[in-house]
Structure 1
Amino acid sequence: MNRNPPNPESQACFGDLARAGRTDAWTYGLAFVVILGGWIVLEFATILGLAALYKDWSWSISSAWSAFLLAIDGQARDTIYTLVVLASVAVMLPPLFVAVRFIHRRPWRSLLTGRRRFDWTLMLYSLGLGLILNGALFFAMAGTGGAEIVFDWDPAVWLLALVLLPLPLLAQVTAEETLFRGYIYQWVGLFTANTWVRILIPAGLFAVMHLPNPELQSGGYWALADYLLFSLYAGFLVYRTNGLEAAIGMHAAINLLVSLIITYPDSVLPGAAPWALEEIAWDWMALLSLIAVVLHYVLLLRLCPVAPPPSSKQRKPTVPLPVKRNADSLIETLALKDKRVLDVGCGGGHIARLMAGQGAHVIGLDPNPVQLRIAEAETPVADETYQAAGGEALPFDDESMELVVLFNSLHHLPPETMAPALREAARVLVPGGHLYISEPVAEGPFFTLMQPIDDETEVRALALAAIDNAEDHGLREITRAVHLHPMRYPDYETFAQRIGNIDPTRRAKFAALDARMRAAFEELGETRDDGVWFHQPTRTHLLGKGVRGLEHIRSTSNR
């Protein structure tokens, strides 16, 4: 397949996407209650409902359909049982969706993939390879394990299973993957960046949840080893492919195989498979499964190339980045003359005055009255005004602005208001309008220098994750660039004074850490004749509002 892997710069790190929403302890406590409680209630209702439906089918369906079902009733029991098992797990999806969207306040897609869109191609390739390799594994069991394969195909029962099982099976697989290798995997990521810890904890929980399965009861430790092997491999696929697509495909392949193609004794999904192993040697199964996952991984990445997952190391530039001031980047990117512009988080008004000087009609917004007084105290350059307001609730009509600017301000918003701020920006933009965002990246010498005073690692990551999900609000990315913003300080005292003036609470930290900060300033800065220089990596994004405009914004805000 001639497929170019996506650039990791265009992706958010899947394991870090819990930070795209609320991560307070109470949100996880409430979410686990909603997920577990909702699942138990819906599972109970599903099992009772399907049991009643199965018992009374002949009373509720047309006589012809009833006669057909009654004729195959004995043979179809395994299919109906499998349907009940699949449905009882699939009903986990609604409470999980409620928890992610309404408790954590983050996009559902963030639980599925680190990409801008779910990669169906990757999922289908993983599914196809999984069917072929695991099918070969089962047939190999006949030779290595000494078990015979029996062929017993009832076309009517098999066609019924083919109609009834695939969609519930895909929902069941998606429910398990989104819970274990989505929600729990990302939750663990809040506490550690260690990849193996992120993989091992969900894998162990996945195996524990499946302990009641009949194959684990009969197969003992080797059957448990086989389950753990799959779970570890699925977790590694999530890490390596930066999403659930490949894991869902592999998981679905195994379940489709055992329910519709070849089964074995004590399978939890007996389905209507025409082939059946008379017995299964779980020690051989574990060994052959290991071979299958190795082949699956090698062939999947060869047939469907996937970029390495984003990480801080990969985000470091491999070629020199351009050095330019943040303000110069804005002027180079935007056509400002005669535009109606909203500067959200304007601070002291420096950027608002800069844009007004370029002919824009600018309104600067900031919730901080001290910053507004500073801005209003300056002599206006041209058409510029200032108002007190926050980005999450803009006091302007729909489709009233041609340009919205978030200049180093998004990461200063409370995390739960970052997505609403982008949605508000989209709301006030006219169709075809633009949102310009400039955000510092959490790396570089200046960032390292500032960490003891104000560590913004998490909030900067949250801001960039929110931008990566801007498409949810009807905003499409037009350009993205990274540059180095230069900063010069004549000496350490000037640096400490400037940073302290931004936030008075920082002054006490500077005083307490004086010796440490002085040493770091000298070590991390580049000393020249005119002072000490730092260069801060900065990402800029130009987003456009599509022609669907307001209707799309309203629909997504109600998800």
Structure 2
Amino acid sequence: MKFIQQAYNGNNDWLAYIATIFLMFFGWQLIGIIPLVGVAYNHSENMSEFLNAANDSFMTLGINSNLYLILMIFTFFAGLVFLLIGVKFIHKRAILTVITSRSKIDWSRVMFAFCTWGAMGLVSFLIGYLVFPEDYVLNFKLVPFTILVLISFLLLPLQTSMEEVLFRGYLLQGFGTWFKRGFIALVLTAVIFGLLHSANPEVEKLGYITMVFYIGTGLLLGIFAIMDEGIELSLGFHAANNIFAAVLVTADWAAFQTEALFIDISEPQVDIVLFLPVIVLYPIIIYVFSKKYGWKNWKEKMFGVIRKPVVFDEDRFIA
């Protein structure tokens, strides 16, 4: 529980959380979006076209997909910066405390999670391609694809890191110390994480049944954070998931509209394949991580009471 208990290191009042969340949304949705709005406006022939695109998607204005991806990533980067400012100056906590309970970030954990989930994702895609080759069309364009790969590996982790610091760090700790149970914090952050993805085009196309995938992913990443006492594994997993999603395959109904290697031309449908990661792959990766990092005390970490650590004051016992 050390990771969740770190919320007690600074100002843990609920007003501090409201102020910080407001600050984060200010940076994310108002400051971070300025470059995107500027580019979109320049691509519009008139204000009416601009407003119509704003209600739908600025992608409809014909903005280069790689440029659009950079501009979208910047909005998340701005949100992350303002969130960390809130942690530092409103909560008066070290930024490291919303990332890990260790003395420094364990980058080996980040890379292990990245490589493990990246490999599993690549194998899953290859199986799908071999079984249903008619569903995919090769979309390789050397220059746009190379730029996409560079953007994805260098910048896309900023987007995933913002979500992980917010949900598996900041909010998990906040809910954990408020409700005194890691399991409650886990469920709340997973549900909120899922609901914030409800505007994704996949949800519009397939319906709210896809919330099972998003909420399930939120539960998985929260389990990583609670059991591993930090979000390093969550950071690596989430980065691999989004990078490979952006680079490998795209579809006209997918959240990532990129110059990916393949285009999925199949008609999306709700079937067992949609839930395969949650049902099969997620339990496997939990098992792999738990064995590698020796996770123990599941019951205590998930359902035990979270208390403020007692600080021993030696001065009170000096004669």
TM-score by length of 2: 0.81
How far the C-alpha of 1:27 sits from its partner, in A, is 1.9
The one-character-per-residue Cα deviations of 1:157-182 (angstroms, maximum 9, x if unpaired) are 11111222323211100101111111
In 2, the alpha carbon distance for the partners of 1:310 and 1:118 equals 23
For the 8 Å contact 1:127–1:252, the answer to whether it is kept is yes
Q: Write out aligned runs for 1:90-101 (5 A).
A: 90-101=77-88
Q: 1:189 is paired with a residue of what secondary structure?
A: helix
1:209 aligns with 2:59: no
Other-structure match for 1:136:
123
Other-structure match for 2:54:
none
Q: Write out aligned runs for 1:184-199 (5 A).
A: 184-199=171-186
Other-structure match for 1:123:
110
For the 8 Å contact 2:247–2:258, the answer to whether it is kept is yes
In 1, the alpha carbon distance for the partners of 2:191 and 2:134 equals 30
Change (3 A) 1:155 1:51: same
For the 8 Å contact 2:227–2:298, the answer to whether it is kept is no
Q: 2:271 is paired with a residue of what secondary structure?
A: helix
Which residue identity is paired with 1:96?
Answer: L
In 2, the alpha carbon distance for the partners of 1:271 and 1:138 equals 17
For the 8 Å contact 1:222–1:283, the answer to whether it is kept is no
In 2, the alpha carbon distance for the partners of 1:459 and 1:296 equals 31
Other-structure match for 2:273:
285
Other-structure match for 2:165:
178
Q: Write out aligned runs for 1:518-537 (5 A).
A: none
For the 8 Å contact 2:26–2:79, the answer to whether it is kept is no
Give the number of the structure with larger relative contact order, counting CA–CA contacts within 8 Å between residues 6 or more apart.
2
Q: 2:137 is paired with a residue of what secondary structure?
A: strand
The one-character-per-residue Cα deviations of 1:279-334 (angstroms, maximum 9, x if unpaired) are 244433333212121222223344x4245479979xxxxxxxxxxxxxxxxxxxxx
For the 8 Å contact 1:22–1:106, the answer to whether it is kept is yes
For the 8 Å contact 1:260–1:273, the answer to whether it is kept is yes
In 1, the alpha carbon distance for the partners of 2:35 and 2:63 equals 19
In 2, the alpha carbon distance for the partners of 1:150 and 1:265 equals 13
How far the C-alpha of 1:188 sits from its partner, in A, is 0.3
How far the C-alpha of 1:145 sits from its partner, in A, is 7.4
How far the C-alpha of 1:135 sits from its partner, in A, is 2.4
Q: 2:263 is paired with a residue of what secondary structure?
A: strand
For the 8 Å contact 1:239–1:309, the answer to whether it is kept is no
For the 8 Å contact 2:88–2:94, the answer to whether it is kept is yes
Which residue identity is paired with 1:298?
Answer: Y
In 1, the alpha carbon distance for the partners of 2:277 and 2:134 equals 17
Q: Write out aligned runs for 1:63-462 (5 A).
A: 77-142=64-129, 148-279=135-266, 280-290=268-278, 291-302=280-291, 304-308=292-296, 458=308, 460=310
Other-structure match for 1:25:
14
Q: Aligned residues, how many?
A: 291
Other-structure match for 2:23:
34
Q: 2:177 is paired with a residue of what secondary structure?
A: coil
Q: Which has the higher strand share?
A: 1
> More deviation in 223-232 or 174-183?
223-232
Identity of aligned residues (%): 20
Q: 1:458 is paired with a residue of what secondary structure?
A: coil
In 1, the alpha carbon distance for the partners of 2:293 and 2:132 equals 35
- If you compute each CA radius of gyration, which structure gives the higher value, 1 or 2? 1
Q: 2:32 is paired with a residue of what secondary structure?
A: helix
Which residue identity is paired with 2:16?
Answer: T
Change (3 A) 1:145 1:226: farther
Other-structure match for 1:16:
5
Other-structure match for 2:56:
none
Change (3 A) 1:54 1:106: farther
For the 8 Å contact 2:40–2:63, the answer to whether it is kept is no
How far the C-alpha of 1:42 sits from its partner, in A, is 1.6
In 2, the alpha carbon distance for the partners of 1:176 and 1:309 equals 27
Which residue identity is paired with 1:458?
Answer: K
In 2, the alpha carbon distance for the partners of 1:75 and 1:166 equals 24
Change (3 A) 1:227 1:140: farther
How far the C-alpha of 1:129 sits from its partner, in A, is 1.2
In 2, the alpha carbon distance for the partners of 1:225 and 1:139 equals 24
Q: Could you say what the CA RMSD is over the residues aligned between the two structures, in angstroms?
A: 2.9
For the 8 Å contact 1:90–1:173, the answer to whether it is kept is no
In 2, the alpha carbon distance for the partners of 1:311 and 1:101 equals 32
Which residue identity is paired with 1:100?
Answer: V
For the 8 Å contact 2:195–2:211, the answer to whether it is kept is no
> More deviation in 125-134 or 40-49?
40-49
Which residue identity is paired with 1:19?
Answer: Y
In 2, the alpha carbon distance for the partners of 1:93 and 1:127 equals 20
Which residue identity is paired with 2:19?
Answer: L
Change (3 A) 1:75 1:191: closer
Change (3 A) 1:202 1:151: same
Change (3 A) 1:147 1:116: farther
How far the C-alpha of 1:77 sits from its partner, in A, is 2.4
Which residue identity is paired with 1:29?
Answer: I
For the 8 Å contact 1:257–1:263, the answer to whether it is kept is no
In 2, the alpha carbon distance for the partners of 1:108 and 1:201 equals 23
Change (3 A) 1:311 1:196: closer
In 1, the alpha carbon distance for the partners of 2:251 and 2:272 equals 14
- Residue ranges of structure 1 left out of the alignment (5+ in a row): 1-11, 56-73, 314-456, 468-501, 503-559
